[in-house]
Amino acid sequence: MSTHINAAKGVIAESILLPGDPLRAKFIAENFLENARCYNEVRGMLGFTGTYRGVPVSVQGIGMGMPSMGIYSWELINDYGVRNLIRVGTAGSFHEDIHVRDIVVGVSASLDSSYTNAFDLPGIYAPGAGYDLLVKAGKASEKTGIAFHAGNIVSTDVFYDQREDWWKRWAAMNVMAVEMEAAALYTNAARCKANALAMVTISDHLVTGEETTSEEREKTFTDMMTLALETLIA
Ligand code: HPA
């Protein structure tokens, strides 16, 4: 086992989906994978392995925020040999062309966090998606007809930001959405030579105040899961 995952070597697939909510991991395993088995219950952070169209795929809850994503993605890559990691989650948007229920893929992830400082680089690091998975996401979109926006997103450490209009300066840089994990995943994947992608659906809009109903979230969620799984097997 690793420090935070109690699984035997070999039971976690090379390709994995990473939702924040462990119960969402369970839902994905039960509804999108065949023959899924739970391999981890430590801290209630459930993880499952099954198959999707015959290909082994795992799904692991990773919690919220970059520290949590940093821990799980590091151990999955280094202790369990995971190679392809797709974060699936929700994000807020402040971009005028992006609306609630849209899917956004983070080509790159800006951050307001000190996460990358720990890598002690002689400049400012730019966390980016794995090109291979980006191309596969494009293929999966063509195959399924499920569209997505692609661009820069921002990973923040603070959900309840007290600075008025903080998002306006990100919006001015054409940043598409705000979430809390992608930059840590991209940084770890780069450091450990794995492939990573962050895929989010917009759950709330900071400018228009649009929100999603639970039925809309369900439908969008299903689309994003299909897109993510088809990306992993493309
Ligand atoms: N901020 C940060 N993370 C989020 C948001 C948000 O507004 N919405 C969904 N995830």
Residues 84-139: pLDDT tens digits?
999 999 999 999 999 999 999 999 999 999 999 999 999 999 999 999 999 999 99
Pull the structure tokens for residue 181. Answer: 């994990």
Question: Which residue has the least CA distance to atom 3 on ligand 1?
Answer: 179
* Residue 215 pLDDT exceeds 90: no
The response to whether residue 58 sits with its C-beta less than 6 Å from ligand 1 reads: no
- pLDDT value of residue 101: 94
**Annotation says 79 is catalytic:** no
* Residue 228 pLDDT exceeds 90: yes
The response to whether residue 155 sits with its C-beta less than 6 Å from ligand 1 reads: no
Please report which confidence band the pLDDT of residue 1 belongs to, taking 50, 70 and 90 as the band edges: confident
Question: Which residue has the least CA distance to atom 6 on ligand 1?
Answer: 92
- In angstroms, the Cα distances linking 39 to 15, 19, 46, 50, 214 are 15, 16, 7, 10, 29
The response to whether residue 128 sits with its C-beta less than 6 Å from ligand 1 reads: no
What mean pLDDT is predicted for residues 49-67?
98
The response to whether residue 131 sits with its C-beta less than 6 Å from ligand 1 reads: no
What mean pLDDT is predicted for residues 60-83?
98
Least confident stretch, 3-12, 65-74, 209-218: 209-218
Pull the structure tokens for residue 121. Answer: 């680089």
Rg, the chain, Cα only = 17
The response to whether residue 159 sits with its C-beta less than 6 Å from ligand 1 reads: yes
Give residue 50's Cα distance to chain centre.
19
**Cα-to-centroid distance, 37 and ligand 1 (Å):** 30
- pLDDT value of residue 15: 98
**Cα-to-centroid distance, 116 and ligand 1 (Å):** 20
